[in-house]
Amino acid sequence: MQRRDILRSAVAFTVGAPAVMGAATAYDPIISAIQAYKDGCVAFCAVPEDEMEQDEENVIARTYGAPMEILENWDQPAMTQEGAIVALRLMRDEHLYIDGFGGAMFAAALAYFEQNS
């Protein structure tokens, strides 16, 4: 299975799904960072196959590359319950638990729950 197929299935599963039902919550930058990554994945999947074959690294760099790097280097706790849940859902949807940004998302979610329990 190619990365494009994996991203397409993850995006189809998560785009448009509400993170938490109920009242609006405070701004949480982790939610914006995750949404930027998801938007980049959608853009990546929309690139024509011939363009992808010519220069996949450039396509990654201009679609989801920078947002993924932000998530991989994330070192702050989630600020809201919604942010913590969105981080955990991203881990689940991308099947990342230790590799990639999985560890950073887990740490952000856990830190939120530890601070607010």
Domain enclosing residue 103, as ranges: 3-15+26-115
How far CA 107 is from CA of 8, 11, 28, 44, in Å, comes to 26, 23, 15, 27
Please check the confidence at residue 24 and state whether its pLDDT lies above 70.
no
**20 within a domain of the structure (yes/no):** no
Alpha-carbon distance of 73 to 59, in angstroms, equals 21
Domain count, the chain: 1
**7 within a domain of the structure (yes/no):** yes
**80 within a domain of the structure (yes/no):** yes
pLDDT tens string 32-55:
999 999 999 999 999 999 999 999
Q: What is the pLDDT of residue 101?
A: 83
**21 within a domain of the structure (yes/no):** no
Q: Which is higher by pLDDT, 107 or 9?
A: 107
Q: What is the pLDDT of residue 4?
A: 59
Q: What is the pLDDT of residue 100?
A: 76
pLDDT tens string 3-16:
656 565 555 444 44
